[in-house]
Homo-oligomer: A and B are copies of this chain.
Amino acid sequence: MRPVVLERLMRYYRYLSEVTARKNIDTITSAQLGATLHIDPTQVRKDFGAIGLMGISRVGYEVCEVCRAIRLVFGFDRPYPAILVGAGHLGKALLSYPGFVRYGLRFIAAFDNDPSKVGLTEAGLKVQGIRSMKPFVRKNNIKMAVLTTPVSVSQTITDRLVSAGIQAIWNFSPTRLTVPEGVLIRNEHISLGLAQVAYHLNALRTEENGELPTLDQPCDEPCRPEDL
Cross-interface CB contact of A186 among B62, B94, B196, cutoff 8 Å: B196
Query: Which residues of chain B have C-beta atoms less than 8 A from A1's C-beta?
Result: 199, 203
Query: Which residues of chain B have C-beta atoms less than 8 A from A22's C-beta?
Result: 152, 225
Q: Does A20 reach chain B (CB closer than 8 Å)?
A: yes
- Give chain A's interface secondary structure class: helix
Query: Which residues of chain B have C-beta atoms less than 8 A from A16's C-beta?
Result: 223
Copies in the complex: 2
**Which of the segments A64-72, A114-122, A156-164 contacts the partner chain?**
A64-72
Q: Does A103 reach chain B (CB closer than 8 Å)?
A: yes
Q: Are B176 and A38 in contact (CB under 8 A)?
A: yes
Given A51-B213, A89-B93, 10 further pairs, Cβ under 8 A: A10-B191, A17-B224, A20-B223, A21-B225, A67-B223, A74-B199, A103-B194, A104-B194, A104-B195, A170-B194
Q: Are A223 and B17 in contact (CB under 8 A)?
A: yes
Smallest CB separation, A189 vs chain B (Å): 8
Smallest CB separation, A118 vs chain B (Å): 21
Q: Does A43 reach chain B (CB closer than 8 Å)?
A: no
Q: Does A227 reach chain B (CB closer than 8 Å)?
A: yes
Given A14-B174, A223-B20, A226-B14, also A65-B194 (CB < 8 A): no
Q: Are B17 and A226 in contact (CB under 8 A)?
A: yes
CA distance A191 to B195 in the complex (A): 20
Cross-interface CB contact of A168 among B18, B73, B191, B201, cutoff 8 Å: B201
- Per-residue CB contact flags for chain A residues 134-147 toward chain B (1 = under 8 Å, else 0) read 00000000011000
Q: Are A143 and B201 in contact (CB under 8 A)?
A: yes
CA distance A202 to B167 in the complex (A): 11
Query: Which residues of chain B have C-beta atoms less than 8 A from A7's C-beta?
Result: 192
Query: Which residues of chain B have C-beta atoms less than 8 A from A225's C-beta?
Result: 17-18, 21-22
Q: Does A190 reach chain B (CB closer than 8 Å)?
A: yes
